[in-house]
């Protein structure tokens, strides 16, 4: 699939087919996520593939933003010690977060090309997700990406709010 078609087709999917996602496809999404850049080439990014149904159910319980029946998820998270050691506070508080967004979007676009759907999820309990997934305090979870096969008869995606696609030319405020 052409990359622009994949970008155009990506939407937050909140209704999925009732079937699991193959492990090798989830690993391909993890690969796509890891292809995103990292600030200063610092190896702070971690990706967790989550496809165990009981674990997904536990996550759903501590994640008000996990609104779907997605059978799988990818967690993009950061080793804060590696980020701080490599790039100081800029790495820990800024670059790694930017990178996690890039990693999640890479996976989301790749998912479209593979016939999968995703939904970024940030509305969850940080304490809860650490507990469920055995993540130590020296890591920060950044984005959870719900993954599954989009239901064919799902509701239409929400319309984008006005004002979210403003592009200026050369100077702030100069509209195209
Ligand atoms: C950082 C971030 C956090 C988000 N958290 C959630 C969430 O917790 N639950 C959810 O259903 N959608 C979540 N979304 C999805 C947005 O609601 C969605 O992307 C937005 O409404 C635009 O719709 P679209 O993705 O279909 O274009 C999140 C998106 C981003 C970028």
Instruction: Specify burial of residue 34 (Cβ count, 10 A radius: 0-12, 13-18, 19+).
Output: middle
Residue 15 CA, ligand 1 centroid: distance in Å: 14
Residue 86 CA, ligand 1 centroid: distance in Å: 30
CA–CA distances in Å: residue 124 to residues 20, 23, 50, 90, 141: 22, 24, 15, 25, 10
Residues with Cβ within 8 Å of 173's Cβ and at least 6 positions away in sequence, in order, are: none
Looking at residue 39, the DSSP 8-state letter turns out to be G
Q: Is the CB of 157 under 6 A from ligand 1?
A: yes
Q: Which residue has the tokens 């319309």?
A: 159
Looking at residue 91, the DSSP 8-state letter turns out to be I
Between CA 27 and CA 38 the distance in angstroms is 19
Residue 160 CA, ligand 1 centroid: distance in Å: 11
| Domain at 3-148, CATH from 3.40.50.1220, 1.20.870.10, 3.40.109.10, 2.40.50.140 | 3.40.109.10
Ligand 1 atom 19 nearest Cα? 12
Q: Would you list the domain boundaries of the chain?
A: 3-148
Q: Is the CB of 98 under 6 A from ligand 1?
A: no
Average pLDDT by stretches of 10, the chain with 176 residues: 96 97 98 96 97 98 97 98 96 97 98 98 97 98 98 87 88 92
Q: Check: pTM over 0.85? Answer yes or no.
A: yes
Using an 8 Å Cβ cutoff, are 65 and 14 in contact? no
At residue 66, the pLDDT reads: 97
Residue 12 CA, ligand 1 centroid: distance in Å: 6
């Amino acid at each position: 699939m052409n990359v622009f078609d994949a970008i155009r087709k990506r939407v937050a999917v909140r209704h999925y087919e009732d079937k699991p996602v193959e492990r090798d496809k989830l690993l391909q999404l993890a690969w796509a996520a890891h292809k995103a850049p990292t600030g200063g080439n610092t190896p702070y990014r971690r990706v967790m593939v989550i496809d165990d149904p009981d674990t997904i159910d536990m996550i759903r319980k501590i994640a008000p933003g996990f609104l779907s029946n997605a059978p799988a998820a990818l967690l993009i998270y950061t080793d804060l010690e590696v980020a701080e050691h490599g790039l100081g506070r800029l790495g820990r508080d800024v670059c790694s977060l930017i990178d996690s967004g890039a990693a999640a979007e890479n996976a989301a676009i790749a998912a479209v090309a593979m016939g999968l759907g995703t939904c970024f999820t940030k509305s969850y309990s940080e304490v809860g997700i650490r507990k469920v997934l055995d993540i130590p305090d020296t890591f920060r979870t950044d984005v959870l990406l719900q993954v599954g096969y989009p239901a064919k008869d799902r509701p239409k995606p929400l319309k984008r709010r006005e004002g979210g696609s403003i592009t200026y030319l050369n100077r702030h405020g100069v509209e195209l």
